[in-house]
Amino acid sequence: MIRINDIIDLVADYNPEADLDIIDRAYVYSARVHHGQVRLSGEPYLTHPLEVAGILAEMRLDEVSIAAGLLHDVVEDTHASPEEIEEIFGPEIRRIVSGVTKLSTLPFSSSQARQAESIRKMILAMADDIRVILIKLADRLHNMRTLDFHRTDDKKRRIAKETLDIYAAIASRLGIYWMKKELEDISFRYLMPEEYKTIAGLVSAGREKQDRYIEKVRSIISEKMTEAGIGGEVLGRYKHFYSIHQKMVLQNLPFEEVYDIIAFRIIVDTLGQCYEVLGVIHSLWKPIAKKFKDYIAMPKPNMYQSLHTTVIGPYGERVEIQIRTQEMDRVAKSGIAAHWSYKEGRKPDEQASQTFAWIQNLVENQANFSNPEEFLENVRIDLFPDEIYVFTPQGEIKNLPKGATPVDFAYLIHTEVGNQCTGAKVNGRMVPLKYELQTGNIVEIITSKGAHPSKDWPNFVKTVKARSRIRQWVKNQEKERSLTLGREMCEKAFRKYRLNFNQLMKTDKMAEAAKHFGFQSVEDLIANVGYGKITPLQVIRRIEPREESEEPHQSLLNKLIGRVRKKKPKGGVIVQGMDDILIKFAKCCQPVPGDPIIGYITRGFGVTVHRTNCVNVLKMSPERQVDVQWNEDIRETYPVKILVRSYDRVGLLAELAANISKNEANILSVNTRTLENKIVDSHFTLAVEGTEHLEKVLTAIRKVRQVQEVKRIG
């Protein structure tokens, strides 16, 4: 266990001018308020903030970050208040600690909603001060290192999944690759334990032979560099387990054919020497076309710089080699922490601020998503690491996600350019708006005044900014049409009750009615009548209360759905507390109990239930979404599709079927396809009772000999 003196000595070593007193005071305060608390491991709780502060010190962060790391959970887990933190340690540390604190005390409809809103809060706070996310990453890393002490496998898997989806991706975007790799490997161990053990065993089995290979290649490179008069360090490294697994799955490769399990890194003194070493390597071994990447001339968005090349090595095998300077290596290890300086005026340096503009984009885009789960899904989209680099006609470099289109590029330039985009030229030639841009393309957008976005654009754009701006435009247009329709509906209904709608529009009664229904203005109220979200009769009854017998009440759901079954037996899903609504389960995502779900109202066909992360939900009108929940009193089975990928062998299908049957799941259909490399894809449709039952079945299938991958699809 790390001690406070170790942390203080480390900070003093890399920053002799640091205010060490604030670190010492933060430690004393944290020890006092956490006194008597223990972690699941049985250790004193204080070990956790100490380990977090130790990780931050290893990242060479400033003393304010270290102190905030020691205090990061005192507000959440003790009697300490934000006001007390500010009084003792100042407003800067209070702001950082508040940004790290989860929203565990606020009421939310579900744990998923609370977690999504906590991550939204974290993203907002990290845009204000990047140290918030650096502390949060250190906190998550230590929690993952001690994840084994959680009692239930379900909780371990849930935490590991969130870590893989969000925190490892953020570490990657921030350029902190050592942390990304450790978070991925620990998550992999809990999410796919069998696959993890298999890869760990295979790597370990060949370790002695691989170590000899590393030493042989390293000595050849070092000798050639010495002959060329270039000093430097040559290192061999093993690829981390999750990365090996990803390559095996994505490229359908057995372990023996993953060529870059070992890679080499060459570190030199100057930028010019990087290119000199590249020449030495390419004269020594034949380079592979399309496997050379110059991240020095065109750095990654997180400032990563290096030369990457793959060559045919001394034994006819592929060898991946990275070449960089010592400064580039420092940035590659520390990412944003290597550039974030708070010494002069407490401001981040300009280069880091510009490079990490994607954080500001996340903040701008989050305003367009009222649903926290929808925001979280779009955060995941924004965090994926594959980038392309394109040029404006003036030669300015812009980076976009892989698969981005001219429409994404147009919205990156400006919202109005995107809204008025009618065509695009790539390298001087006209291309369709669906065209996938490639690195090096020169892109020119053609606009036309009066043009507007098409409703099918969200189906092919790749950036959250483009999708949210298009949806915002469509929503504004729908609001105008709904205002007209709502006004007509209200005028007609109000006349029936001998009321003058146009006169009442300007009264306080109408403003109070709008407020009662949760709208900011009378205009919003009328637009929602047009949407079908509320009825004119509900507005009339609010303004002029009448006897119930005058006209039967017709709810929003009945209005939109049409005739529904009034005496339908109880089913597995409850709609807004009602259980007499016609329910269908979406075939695109096939939800089962345990999945977070949302309902979508369809005219005349009741409510269709989707998983909340279903891609089709993002395309649907938010006005037709309705809260639904699983009825825990009902036990039914639900269809779900799974893919089993394995090596072909005699008796495979029979063994798979036996394992499924043994775990009380019914096979509704099965379809198998043998690929060229003797891999078999088996598509099963199973009837299961929920996510826990499904996970039990998947775990059993993973234990079948020569099964490589098992996953839920749809």
CATH number at residue 270: 3.30.460.10
Q: Are residues 301 and 215 in the same domain?
A: yes
Model confidence at 339, in pLDDT bands (50, 70, 90)? low
Is 378 contained in some domain? no
Number of other CB atoms surrounding residue 208 within 10 Å: 9
Question: What distance in Å separates the CA atoms of residue 527 and residue 634, rounded to the nearest whole number?
Answer: 38
Taking a C-beta distance cutoff of 8 angstroms, is the pair 74, 52 a contact?
A: no
Looking at per-residue confidence, does 357 or 185 come out higher? 185
Average pLDDT over residues 436-463: 87
- 302-337 pLDDT, tens digit per residue, is 678 899 999 988 888 888 899 999 988 887 776 666
Q: What is the pLDDT of residue 125?
A: 62
Residue 76 designated active-site: yes
- Other beta carbons within 10 Å of 417: 14
pLDDT of residue 128: 65
Is 388 part of a structural domain of the chain?
no
Mean pLDDT, range 568-586, rounded to an integer: 65
DSSP per residue, 620-679: S-GGGEE-EEE-TT----EEEEEEEEEE--TTHHHHHHHHHHHTT-EEEEEEEEE-TTSE
- Type of residue found at 685: T
When mean pLDDT is compared across 264-268, 487-491, 570-574, the lowest value belongs to 570-574
pLDDT score, position 301: 66
How many domains is the chain built from? 5
Check which CATH number belongs to the domain holding 651 and give it. 3.30.70.260
**Rounded percentage of the chain residues whose pLDDT exceeds 90:** 23
- Reported as type and span, the H/E element at residue 10 is helix 4-14
pLDDT at 423 over 60: yes
Residue of 76, 488, 523, 709 marked catalytic: 76
- Domain stop point among 192, 223, 248: 192
- Residue 142 predicted with pLDDT over 60: yes
Q: Is residue 346 part of a domain?
A: no
Is pLDDT at 530 greater than 60 in this prediction? yes
The whole-angstrom separation of Cα 506 and Cα 509 is: 8
Statement to judge: residues 527 and 604 lie in one domain? no
With 60 as the cut, is the pLDDT of residue 418 above it? yes
What's the pLDDT score for residue 145?
92
Q: Is the pLDDT of residue 70 over 90?
A: yes
Query: What is the number of alpha carbons within 13 Å of residue 232 lying toward its C-beta?
Result: 35
Domain span holding position 174: 4-192
Whether the per-residue pLDDT at 4 is higher than 60: the answer is: yes
The predicted pLDDT at position 271 comes to: 92
What does the DSSP 8-state code read for residue 712? E
Same domain, 94 and 43: yes
Share the mean pLDDT of the chain: 81
> Is residue 562 predicted with pLDDT exceeding 50?
no
Residue 355 pLDDT > 70, yes or no? no
Coil, strand or helix at 235: strand
Residues 94 and 86: beta-carbon distance below 8 Å: yes
pLDDT in tens, 10-69: 888 888 888 899 999 999 999 998 888 888 888 888 999 999 999 998 888 888 889 999
Mean predicted confidence (pLDDT) in 245-250: 79
Altogether, the residues listed in the chain come to a count of 714
Whole-number Å distance between alpha carbons of 697 and 689: 11
pLDDT score for 374: 56
Per the DSSP assignment, residues forming a β-bridge with 294 are 307
319, 256: one domain: yes
My answer on whether 209 and 307 are in the same domain is yes
Task: Tell whether 302 and 183 lie within a shared domain.
Answer: no
DSSP helix/strand/coil, 421: strand
Residues 265 and 329 in one domain: yes
| Options 6, 77, 349, 580, the catalytic residue | 77
In a domain, 685, yes or no: yes
* CB contact set of 10 (below 8 Å; sequence gap of 6+): 54, 57, 58
Q: In this predicted structure, what is the pLDDT of residue 54? A: 93
| Helix 177-191 × helix 241-250 angle, to 10° | 70
Question: 417 pLDDT exceeds 80?
Answer: yes
Task: Measure the CA–CA gap between 427 and 196, rounded to whole angstroms.
Answer: 45
- The alpha carbon of 128 is separated from its chain's Cα centroid by a whole number of angstroms, namely 20
103 compared with 360, residue with greater pLDDT? 360
Q: Which run of H or of E encompasses 516?
A: helix 508-516
Average pLDDT of span 659-683 = 87
What is the CB neighbour count within 10 angstroms for residue 17? Answer: 8
Which of 322, 337, 352 lies at the terminal end of a domain, its last residue? 337
> pLDDT category, 103, cuts 50, 70, 90?
very low
pLDDT for residue 647: 87
User: Does the CA dihedral 552-555-560-562 come out positive or negative?
Assistant: negative
Portion of the chain with pLDDT greater than 70, in percent: 82
Q: Could you tell me if 280 and 333 lie in one domain? A: yes
- Domain assignment of residue 15, yes or no: yes
Q: Per-residue confidence at 480, pLDDT binned at 50, 70, 90?
A: confident
Across the range 101-127, mean pLDDT stands at 57
Judged against a pLDDT cut of 90, whether residue 637 lies above it is answered with no
Q: Looking at the structure, tell me whether residues 494 and 533 fall in a common domain.
A: yes
In a domain, 100, yes or no: yes
> Which tokens belong to 522?
């009378």
Domain finish residue from 192, 214, 236 = 192
Give the C-alpha separation, 248 to 258, whole Å: 7
Q: Residue 303: left (phi > 0), alpha (psi -120 to 50), or beta?
A: left
| Residue 539 to residues 483, 513, 547, Cα–Cα distance (Å) | 15, 7, 15
Residue 433 binned pLDDT confidence (cut-offs 50, 70, 90): very high
Q: End-to-end CA distance of the chain: give it in Å, rounded.
A: 45
What is the average pLDDT across 204-216? 85
H or E, element range at 378:
helix 372-383
Chain-centroid distance of CA 680 in Å reads: 30
In which residue are the tokens 């089913």 written?
Answer: 571
Residue 31 and residue 417: Cα distance in Å, rounded?
55
- 539 and 587 part of one domain: no
Q: What is residue 280's predicted lDDT score, i.e. its pLDDT?
A: 94
What pLDDT is recorded for position 342?
Answer: 37
In a domain, 466, yes or no: no
> Do 325 and 257 belong to one domain?
yes
- Least confident range from 275-284, 584-593, 608-617, 648-657: namely 608-617
Out of 26-30, 165-169, 400-404, the most confident range is 26-30
Tokens 């099964």 belong to 707
* Window from 408-422, 617-631, 693-707 with minimum mean pLDDT: 617-631
Same domain, 626 and 642: no
Does the pLDDT value for residue 555 go beyond 60? Answer: no
Mean pLDDT of 345-364: 52
- How would residue 462 be classed by pLDDT, with cut points 50, 70 and 90? confident
* Annotation marks residue 77 as catalytic: yes
Answer whether residue 511 is part of any domain: yes
| CATH number where 63 lies | 1.10.3210.10
